[in-house]
Structure 1
Amino acid sequence: MAEKITKEDEALIESARDVIRDAYVHGTHYVGSAVRTTDGTVHTGVHVEANVGRASVCAEPVVLGTTVANGNSSDEIETIVSVRHPGPAEDENEIKVVSPCGVCRELITDLGAHIQVIYPGEKDELHKDDAINLLPNKYIKSYRDVHLEE
């Protein structure tokens, strides 16, 4: 069930906007993400576009990896949001919240189905919901469960 956006969520969105404002390079970096952990710490990251498409990396895995690299467990990841900077040919100048792609939804739910995702709905109204609710009928039999954990 989607939840209302809080003042803390609005600040998280602004952190994502700030990182992409600072890092924006047309054709290289145009999506920024921010994660808030349970202690209120915010981590940010940007996507990296490559000439070879499959070498590109979305902003969500970048910021999730940064959050973990900075000492947080996946259980401590509370909320994630991504924003997109408009390109020079676009009429719109606003940096808007965007939904994570399907692959990123898989990654987020693998780290924690509880992680809250902020995403746009109709008329750009913002929503927040558990990652698992954005990925119905998720494949959940993981390699780790079958082969690595006893």
Structure 2
Amino acid sequence: MSAPPSMSPGDTELLLAAQDLLARVWVSGRHEVATALRTADGRVHTGVHVEGSCRRSSVCAEGVALGTARGASTAGEPLSVVSVVSVQIKPAGRFRIIAPCGVCRELISDYCPDATVWVTTVEGDEPVPLRALDLLPEKSRRQW
């Protein structure tokens, strides 16, 4: 898919990275979502959805990308993510920007509440940027 006109060049880079990853590793029912995110230091980290035979063992692409970013961060520094883009190949074999599931919304907003998360609107079918914390109105904020 091409980037929406409102998407910045940096977020377009994330979209392309997620699409490239998913195009390379996609397997129906096993690896259907890829995520690319940018940390405050400018680095891009990616992750791919890993489906398990019992659904509880599955791991979402957003969690994989966040874990990869955390693993690459400097000791003692908090994880600081500025933007997240996730893609899926559906329907009819085309790429689509998707919103994180509920668990991933919690995870992203726990670690980077002010990050920009791209989602495709239900009405209008348009990709738009939202603040991570805005994906969960009235979210409980845990003190770490």
1:85 maps to: 89
The residue number in structure 1 matching 2:120 is 120
Greater relative contact order structure (CA < 8 Å, 6+ sep): 1
Preserved contact between residue 89 and residue 96 of structure 2 (Cα < 8 Å): yes
Distance 2:110 2:40 in 1: 18
Tell me the TM-score normalized by structure 2: 0.87
Q: Deviations over 1:77-114 (max 9, x none)?
A: 1111110123xxx5x22111000011100001110211
The letter for the 1-side match of 2:50 is: V
2:98 maps to 98
Name whichever of 95-104 and 73-82 sits farther off. 73-82
51-60 vs 115-124, which moves further: 115-124
3-state SS of 1:64 partner: helix
Residue 36 of structure 1: CA displacement?
A: 0.8
The answer on whether the counterparts of 2:73 and 2:79 sit within 8 Å (CA) in structure 1 is no
Which structure 1 residue ranges, 4+ long, deviate > 3 Å from structure 2? 72-75
TM-score, with normalisation over the residues of structure 1? Answer: 0.84
Match of 1:50 in 2: 52
Partner-residue secondary structure (3-state), 1:11 = helix
Amino acid at match of 2:17: S
1:29–1:46 CA contact under 8 A, matched in 2: yes
C-alpha distance after superposition, 1:40-91 (max 9, x if no partner): 21111101001101000111000000001011654421111110123xxx5x
Higher helix share: 1
Mapped partners of 1:22, 1:48: distance in 2 = 14
CA RMSD of aligned residues (A): 1.6
Moved more, 46-55 or 120-129: 120-129
5+ residue gaps, structure 2, are 1-5
Question: For the Cα contact (< 8 Å) 1:74–1:112, is it kept in 2?
Answer: no
% identical equivalent positions: 39
How many residue pairs get matched?
136
SS in 1 for 2:124: helix
Q: Structure 2 vs 1, CA of residues 126 and 115 (structure 1 numbering), >3 Å: closer, same or farther?
A: same
Paired residue secondary structure (1:123) = coil
Q: Does 1:19 align with 2:18?
A: no
Consecutive unaligned residues of structure 1, counting only runs of 5 or more, are none
Counterpart Cα distance in 2 of 1:124 and 1:118: 12
Q: Which residue of 2 aligns with 1:136?
A: 137
